């Protein structure tokens, strides 16, 4: 038997904290723990989801293919986040694919439980609503960044964001290690352009690299760069 939701810390960070004890028990009894290996996908764009995924550990990218076949990463998940909520709530196909960036531990929660609870527990609905409102605001910000900032600014912002959200190790390298390709797909640029820019940042001493690993050296300068100064 796996650990219970009642004792799960990550629940604090997501909408499941609005559940009553009984509701939580139901969730706990029907959830399925899964381990996802780095690079494997949790679900794919256009798929019908049978439930949501609660992230216990690891990071995944939520991405979407554009008509030209390039991947665009729309969001990186944080620990405790629930994925697939939008799709389950709207009873819709997923508009995004979720792929593990490093090894993950997730809990799958069947959609019936989610929709039942949505119908009966207004607090839970509100909590989900608030999370979605937050996501929507962030999406708006991304839209503005994508259309008004240069690749250089977006990359600078990405580094600051990654440091803030996922931290750095004792040597000052970002904990979350992304491929150059992933960086390109976050920032929305050609991989070659992005690699060049990383070299440039390194030359200027704004970042340091060691293989795939990247460390933020001049956070302040990067932030100013992102803000257009």
Could you list the residues that contact its own copies (CB under 8 A)? 64, 66-68, 70, 72, 74, 86, 89-90, 92, 95-96, 118-122, 125-126, 128-130, 132-137, 139-149, 187-188, 227-228
Q: Copy the structure tokens of residue 106.
A: 């997730």
Nearest in space to 215 (alpha carbons), one of 229, 197, 201, 200: 201
| From DNA, its own copies, none, interface partner of 190 (C-beta below 5 to 8 A by class) | DNA
Query: Judged by CB, which is closer to its own copies: 29, or 224?
Result: 224
Query: Judged by CB, which is closer to its own copies: 145, or 165?
Result: 145
Q: Which residues contact 85 (CB under 8 A, 6 or more apart)?
A: 15, 52, 114, 128, 131, 132
| From its own copies, DNA, none, interface partner of 146 (C-beta below 5 to 8 A by class) | its own copies
| From its own copies, DNA, none, interface partner of 196 (C-beta below 5 to 8 A by class) | DNA
- The minimum distance between CB 55 and DNA, in angstroms, equals 22
| From its own copies, DNA, none, interface partner of 175 (C-beta below 5 to 8 A by class) | none
Per CB under 7 A, 92 contacts DNA: no
Contact positions with DNA (CB under 7 A) in 29-48: none
Per CB under 7 A, 181 contacts DNA: yes
Per CB under 7 A, 174 contacts DNA: no
Q: Which residues contact 102 (CB under 8 A, 6 or more apart)?
A: 38, 58, 59, 176, 177
User: Which string of DSSP letters, residue by residue, matches 105-170?
Assistant: EEEEEEHHHHHHHHHH-HHHHHHHHHHHHHHHHHHHHHHHHHHHS-HHHHHHHHHHHHHHHH-B-T
């Amino acid at each position: 038997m796996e650990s219970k939701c009642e004792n799960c810390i990550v629940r604090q960070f997501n909408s499941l904290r609005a559940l009553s004890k009984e509701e939580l028990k139901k969730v706990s009894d029907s959830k399925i723990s899964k381990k996802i290996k780095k690079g494997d996908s949790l679900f794919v764009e256009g798929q019908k989801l049978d439930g949501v995924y609660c992230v216990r550990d690891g990071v995944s990218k939520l991405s979407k293919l554009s008509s030209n076949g390039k991947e665009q990463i729309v969001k990186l998940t944080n620990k405790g986040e629930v994925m697939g909520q939008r799709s389950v709530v709207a009873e819709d196909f997923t508009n995004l694919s979720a792929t593990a960036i490093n090894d993950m531990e997730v809990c799958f929660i069947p959609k019936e439980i989610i929709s039942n609870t949505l119908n009966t527990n207004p607090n839970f609905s509100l909590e989900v609503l608030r999370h979605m409102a937050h996501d929507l605001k962030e999406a708006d910000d991304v839209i503005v960044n994508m259309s008004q900032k240069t690749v250089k600014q977006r990359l600078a912002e990405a580094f600051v964001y990654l440091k803030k959200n996922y931290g750095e190790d004792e040597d000052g390298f970002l904990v979350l290690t992304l491929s150059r390709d992933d960086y390109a797909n976050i920032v929305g640029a050609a991989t070659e352009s992005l690699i060049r820019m990383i070299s440039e940042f390194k030359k200027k001493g704004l970042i340091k690299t060691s293989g795939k690993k990247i460390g933020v050296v001049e956070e302040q300068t990067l932030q100013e760069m992102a803000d257009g100064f």
